[in-house]
Amino acid sequence: DTAVSQTPKYLVTQMGNDKSIKCEQNLGHDTMYWYKQDSKKFLKIMFSYNNKELIINETVPNRFSPKSPDKAHLNLHINSLELGDSAVYFCASSHQTGKVFSTEAFFGQGTRLTVV
Amino acid sequence: GENVEQHPSTLSVQEGDSAVIKCTYSDSASNYFPWYKQELGKRPQLIIDIRSNVGEKKDQRIAVTLNKTAKHFSLHITETQPEDSAVYFCAASEDNYGQNFVFGPGTRLSVLP
C-alpha cells in the first residue's frame, strides 16, 4: 500500500491554465507538506498543514493555494500557470501531535509539472 | 527562520572508499536531523536520522554525527558501493506545532567503480 500518493505523476500544461495536484496519505499522520524541487534539485517548503490548518506558508505566489479537506489530504491548486512554475512538486507527511521529538517525513513520488 | 547549508555540492569517490557530507544549521531550537537519499527520478527517502539528545548514530555502513554546540552534523558512508550514488539531503527541524523541515541544497554523490 502506498503511504503517500500524489496524482498525477506527470502534468504538461500551457501557460495561463489552472491545474491541481492531489495528495493523500494513509499513515494517519497529522501534518502534511508541499515541497517544490527545482531544476537544481533544491527542496523548498511551500506549505505545511497540521490537522487541516495552515501552519507554514513560505514566500509563494498567491496563485498557489493549498486545500486540505481532511487530515489525510492536501491538494495543491495553481492558477495562471507560468513557465517558472515548472518543477517537481513533492507532497509529504509526518506525525507531530503528542510527539516529544519530530518524526521523519514520508514523501510522495512527486509530480513533474511542465509549463509550456 | 532555519537555514541549512550543505557541503560539498558534488562528491566523487572510488568504490570502497568513504564519503562524508557535512551540514550546518542556524536555529539552535532545531532538534531533529534526518538525512534523505534521492535516486534519479525518485522520491527522497529517509536513510538515517539523529535527535539532539544523541551525538552519534550508526546503521551498518551509514553513520551520522551531531555537534550541537557548533550546530553541525555529518553523514558518513563507509565502503561505498555504486548503488550509493544519489543526491543526499540533510534537513533540520524542531518539534514545534506544525514543524518545518528545512532541507540543505543537496550533495550529488557519485561512486566510481
Minimal CA separation from A79 to chain B, in Å: 25
Sign of CA dihedral A62, A64, A69, A70: negative
∠ Cα A18 A10 A59 (to 5°): 55
List the single best residue of A43, A46, A89, A109 to mutate versus B (max B Cβ within 10 A): A43
Minimal CA separation from B80 to chain A, in Å: 23
B6 contact A CB<8A: no
Instruction: With CB atoms and an 8 Å threshold, state whether A104 touches B102.
Output: no
B100: nearest CB among A45, A53, A107: A45
pLDDT along chain A (116 residues), means of 10: 90 97 94 90 87 77 92 95 96 76 84 97
pLDDT at residue A1, as a whole number: 65
CB B109 within 8 A of CB B78: no
Closest residue, chain B, to A109 (C-alpha): B43
pLDDT at residue A76, as a whole number: 96
Instruction: With CB atoms and an 8 Å threshold, state whether B101 touches A105.
Output: yes
pLDDT at residue B34, as a whole number: 93
Minimal CA separation from A39 to chain B, in Å: 12
Going residue by residue through chain B (113 aa), what tens digit of pLDDT does each one get?
Answer: 789 999 999 999 999 999 999 999 999 988 889 999 999 989 999 999 998 888 999 999 999 999 999 999 999 999 999 999 999 999 998 765 556 788 999 999 999 99
pLDDT at residue A87, as a whole number: 96
B2 contact A CB<8A: no
Instruction: With CB atoms and an 8 Å threshold, state whether B95 touches A108.
Output: no
CB < 8 Å & 24+ apart, contacts of A21-25: A21/A75, A21/A76, A21/A78, A21/A89, A21/A91, A21/A111, A21/A113, A22/A73, A22/A75, A23/A73, A23/A74, A23/A75, A23/A76, A23/A91, A23/A108, A24/A72, A24/A73, A25/A72, A25/A73, A25/A91, A25/A93, A25/A106
B99 contact A CB<8A: yes
Instruction: With CB atoms and an 8 Å threshold, state whether B101 touches A110.
Output: no
B87 contact A CB<8A: yes
Q: For residue B75, give every residue at least 6 positions away whose Cβ sits within 8 Å of its Cβ, in sequence order, or none.
A: B19, B20, B21, B23, B35, B48, B62, B63, B64, B88, B90
With cell 557548533, the residue in question is: B70
A107: nearest CB among B43, B51, B97: B43
pLDDT digits (tens, 9 = 90+) for B24-46: 999 998 888 999 999 998 999 99
User: Which 3 state secondary structure label does DSSP give A86?
Assistant: coil
- Among A40, A96, A35, A46, CA closest to A71: A96
